[in-house]
A and B are shown apart, each in its own frame.
Chain A
Amino acid sequence: MATVTMVGGSARLAGARRLSGKLLSVAITLAGLLLLTFLMGRLLPADPVLAVTGSEVDKATYDRVYQQLGLDLPIWQQFLSYVKNVLTGNLGSSLTTGRPVVDDLLTVFPATLELAIVAILVGTFVGVPLGVVAAANRGGLMDHVARIIGLAGHSIPIFWLGLIALLVFYSKLQWVAASGRIDILNEGLVTPITGLMLVDTLLQGEWDIFRDALSHIILPGALLGYYSVAYISRMTRSFMLEQLSQEYIIAARAKGMSRRQMIWNHAFKNIRVQLLTVLALTFGGLIDGAVLIETVFGWPGLGQYLTRGLTMNDMNVVMGSVMLTGIVFLIVNIVSDRLYRILDPRTR
């Protein structure tokens, strides 16, 4: 009995140590992220003083603002005050919109989130079955189709495909709406609740605006989704191949189980948890794609906000958007890691 409790105790201790190690590494990553964004902001070729005052300014005002911004302090003190500001939720204000960056981020982030959700849905519901079928018919027609889709997804620049899609579906066929989230006429008619246009219009029963929003999101969402299909189907295929070569599959086949049941009820069931991690990993690529696809489709999201900040040398906007991206990325990774531990019995 004593040994049993001891084993239990040491397991709990190991668990606690793992958790604290994990927390420490998250804290270090966050600190590194802060340092990285701080350096980016400091390196930007814009003069932060002139950005506040405008280019025509006398020496006295310049010096006053210079001191107010704390630019006369040693660099490490500037970094500490930056950290303090970020931790208290103060990311400064944007030079171009004149609003606090935090407020701006709260309006642009849901737009990107909505796009990412549509993309993940497309990626999952197309990519996973494609990968499973490709693995089940290894070397067959669907396997080649999946391979071509994957190669194209890893090779064709997304912004270019977006332009071609606009050319075909908007300007030639006129199947979809062009840029933005909704038609200008519908702008402001929906009170934001969740910030996700599709959900908000549904909640308020605005069917026409819902259809409008859908016709705006379908093209950028599907294109972004296509890029995750490339990755998800490839990973699903290799996970499935690994499962299908296991002995329990041979046993199931020897028992006379049907092929369909063997693939979906046995092999697929075992890769679901692994797929969760893949979905989390897709997220980074989605953000990269969103930056470009938002520029092409005039989608008022985080990516467009960031690129506009970059071209306008709007330091606070750049630092804030990069910081938010990093934090969201970190959260997605932590959540998927936790879920993996909870769902996979072997890691308990």
Chain B
Amino acid sequence: MITDVSRQHLSLGAWLKADPPNGILHSMAQQAWRGCLRFSLHPLGMLGLAIILLVVFAALAAPWLTTYDPVTQNLLERLQPPSAEHWFGTDEFGRDIFARIVYGARTTLYIIMLVTIIVAPIGLLIGVCAGYLGGWADEVLMRVTDVFLSLPGLVLALGFAAALGPGITNAIIAIALTAWPPIARLARAEALSLKQADFIAAVRLQGASRWRIIFRHIVPMCLPSVIVRVTLSMAGVILTAAGLGFLGLGAQPPMPEWGAMVSTGREFMIDSPWVVIAPGISIAAVSLAFNLVGDALRDTLDPRGGE
């Protein structure tokens, strides 16, 4: 039975379930809600999401979570083992490791957000243009992608990071330069298959311009798989960023960054293993979280990709 839902005052739950939806926005909201429901059925995906939310919380609430300053040195308390006062112990400069982990979450989030903002649109646009336009545009764009893919990610990032000079912003640029090609490849493949679709032919016959087709029809259809890919590649981005920090090319001291913390803790590791354990576990946990969320998103957004 079809009822006119627009005139009734519905609770939010009923509004999200109402059938048929009343307009495009209503339908989109319903779709998003169903997606969230499907995602919530993934216990591992929810675990990953919980870890990411925890990191976001730690980054936002850092000053309230710890009374210690992540940078100020206190040589009287150097290399203290974990205790009630210093939950994760202290490092070689007497800084509280828990405080450095919590503030380090800001560094990690900063890297992830900036890399996503740079990489996702660039990869998507290059891939979609190459796939839909075809011809020489495709040739040129894909050759450039090939060149970037002809080097392993970390080596390329190392080269750029060194060339631009050490520092967190340059590390982000270097990582972004290495992270877009796989996304462009994926978007191109999607665009190529969409190009043949009947609904695109219909839009074309109606006289839609090339750019209108790309931005209004192809790009939205590519978004789900690009989102999955970006989420999964964030796990790798975190590891690359930590690797750059470990090699001394990422965030510079005294900025708290987990990879650099492992690197400086190396010398004191044998007598004071806690200096490397906490930062290493933090890196692994966040990377794992993105892997889990990415896998769950793939199942949610792209039923074809399921194993």
- List A residues at the B interface (Cβ < 8 Å): 25, 28-29, 32-33, 35-37, 39-41, 43-45, 151-152, 154-161, 163-164, 166-167, 171, 238, 241, 284-285, 287-288, 291-292, 295-296, 306-307, 310-311, 313, 318, 322, 325-326, 329-330
Q: Which of A158, A296, A326 contacts B151, CB < 8 Å?
A: A326
Contact between A285 and B152, CB atoms less than 8 A apart: yes
Pick from B143, B152, B246, B262: contact of A287, CB under 8 Å: B152
Report chain A residues within 8 Å CB of B239.
155, 157-158
Q: Which of B150, B266, B273, B283 contacts A157 (CB 8 A)?
A: B283
Among candidates A158, A166, A288, residue contacting B153 with C-beta atoms closer than 8 Å: A288
| C-alpha gap A41/B163 in the complex (Å) | 7
Q: Are A43 and B164 in contact (CB under 8 A)?
A: yes
- With A288-B155, A325-B155 known to touch, is A45 a contact of B146 (CB < 8 Å)? no
A35 to B266, CA, bound (A): 37
Given contacts A285-B152, A325-B152, contact A40 B143 (CB under 8 A): no
Q: Which residues of A contact B162 (CB under 8 A)?
A: 40, 44, 310, 313, 318
Q: Is B158's CB under 8 angstroms from A32's CB?
A: no
Known: A32-B150, A284-B153, A288-B152. A151 touches B307 (CB 8 A): no
Verify if B287 is at the interface (C-beta below 8 Å from A). yes
In the complex, what residue of chain A is closest to B280 when comparing beta carbons? Answer: A160
Distance (whole angstroms) from the CB of B286 to the closest CB of chain A = 9
Report Cα–Cα, A158/B240, bound state, in Å.
10
Chain B: interface size category: 35 or more
Report yes or no: A241 in contact with B284, Cβ–Cβ below 8 A: no
Q: Evaluate contact between A32 and B248: CB separation under 8 angstroms.
A: no
> Are B284 and A157 in contact (CB-based, < 8 A)?
yes
Q: What residue of chain B has the Cβ atom nearest to residue A154's Cβ?
A: B291
Residues of A within 8 A of B263 (CB): 159
The 9 closest A-B pairs by CB, nearest first: A32-B147, A160-B280, A43-B163, A155-B288, A288-B154, A284-B152, A155-B287, A310-B162, A156-B284
Check A155–B284 contact: CB distance below 8 A.
yes
CB-CB nearest in chain B for A24: B143
Output the nearest chain A residue to B147 by Cβ-Cβ distance. Answer: A32
Contacts A151-B291, A295-B247: A163 and B262 contacting too (C-beta < 8 A)? yes
Per the bound structure, the CA–CA distance linking A200 and B285 in Å amounts to 42
Residues of B within 8 A of A151 (CB): 288, 291-292
Chain A CB within 8 A of B197 CB: no
Given A285-B152, A325-B152, is A32 in contact with B291 using a C-beta cutoff of 8 Å? no
Among A33, A163, A329, the residue within 8 A (CB) of B276 is A163
Residues B254-285 near A (CB distance < 8 A): 259, 262-263, 266, 269-270, 273, 276-277, 279-280, 283-285
A177 to chain B, nearest CB (A): 15
Closest residue of chain A to B281 (Cβ to Cβ) is A160
- By a CB distance below 8 angstroms, the chain B residues around A167 are 269-270, 273
B262 to chain A, nearest CB (A): 5
Could you say which of B153, B158, B235 contacts A306, with CB atoms under 8 Å apart?
A: B158
- Given A37-B159, A157-B280, A163-B276, 6 other A-B contacts at CB below 8 A? A28-B146, A29-B143, A40-B163, A164-B277, A241-B307, A330-B150
What's the dominant secondary structure at chain B's contact region? helix
Contact A157 B259, beta carbon cutoff 8 Å: yes
B150 near A329 (CB under 8 angstroms)? yes
Residue B243 lies at the interface, judged by CB distance under 8 Å to chain A: yes
B247–A310 touching, CB < 8 Å: yes
Return chain B residues, CB-CB under 8 Å to A306.
155, 158
Asked whether, in the complex, the Cβ of A32 is within 8 Å of the Cβ of B280, the reply is no
Are A157 and B243 in contact, with the CB atoms below 8 A?
Answer: yes
In the complex where A325-B152, A326-B150 touch, is A292 in contact with B235 (Cβ < 8 A)? no
Take A157-B242, A310-B249 as given contacts and tell me if A32 and B273 are in contact as well, using a CB distance cutoff of 8 Å.
no
Contact of A159 among B153, B158, B246 (CB under 8 A): B246
A307 to B247, CA, bound (A): 7
In the complex, chain A residues whose CB is within 8 Å of the CB of B283: 156-157, 160
Given that A40-B163, A163-B266, A167-B269 are known contacts, is A329 also in contact with B152, CB under 8 Å in the complex?
yes
Using CB atoms, name the residue of chain A closest to B285: A155
Can you name the residue of chain B whose Cβ is closest to the Cβ of A156?
B284
Chain B residue at minimum C-beta to C-beta distance from A138: B307
Q: Which of B145-195 contact A (CB under 8 A)?
A: 146-148, 150-156, 158-165
Min CB–CB distance A118 → chain B (angstroms): 18
Given the interface pairs A45-B165, A163-B266, A171-B270, the reply to whether A287 lies near B155 with Cβ below 8 Å is yes
CB proximity of B183 to chain A, nearest CB, Å: 17
Residues of A within 8 A of B280 (CB): 156-157, 160-161, 163-164
Whether a CB of chain A sits under 8 angstroms from the CB of B144 is: yes
Would B269 and A291 count as touching, CB distance under 8 A? no
Which residues of A lie under 8 Å from residue B273 when comparing CB positions? 167
Q: Which residues of B contact A29 (CB under 8 A)?
A: 143, 146-147, 150
Decide: A292 near B154, CB < 8 A? Known: A32-B143, A238-B307.
yes
Interface positions of B from 222 to 250, Cβ below 8 Å from A:
235-236, 239, 242-243, 246-249
- B135 CB → nearest A CB, Å: 15
Q: For B262, what are the chain A residues with a Cβ–Cβ distance below 8 Å?
A: 157, 159-160, 163
Contacts of B158 in A (CB 8 A): 291, 306-307, 310
B235: A residues at CB distance < 8 A: 154-155
Q: Report the bound CA distance from A348 to B160 in whole Å.
A: 41
Q: What's the least CB distance linking B158 to chain A, in Å? A: 6
A167 to B269, CA, bound (A): 8
Would A155 and B291 be within 8 Å (CB), given that A29-B143, A326-B150 are in contact?
A: yes
Which chain A residue has the least Cβ–Cβ distance from B270?
A171
Cα A154 to Cα B285 with chains together (Å) = 11
A–B Cβ pairs within 8 angstroms, 20 of them: A28-B146, A32-B144, A32-B150, A33-B147, A40-B163, A41-B163, A45-B163, A155-B287, A157-B242, A157-B280, A158-B243, A159-B246, A159-B263, A163-B262, A163-B276, A163-B280, A288-B155, A295-B247, A322-B155, A329-B151
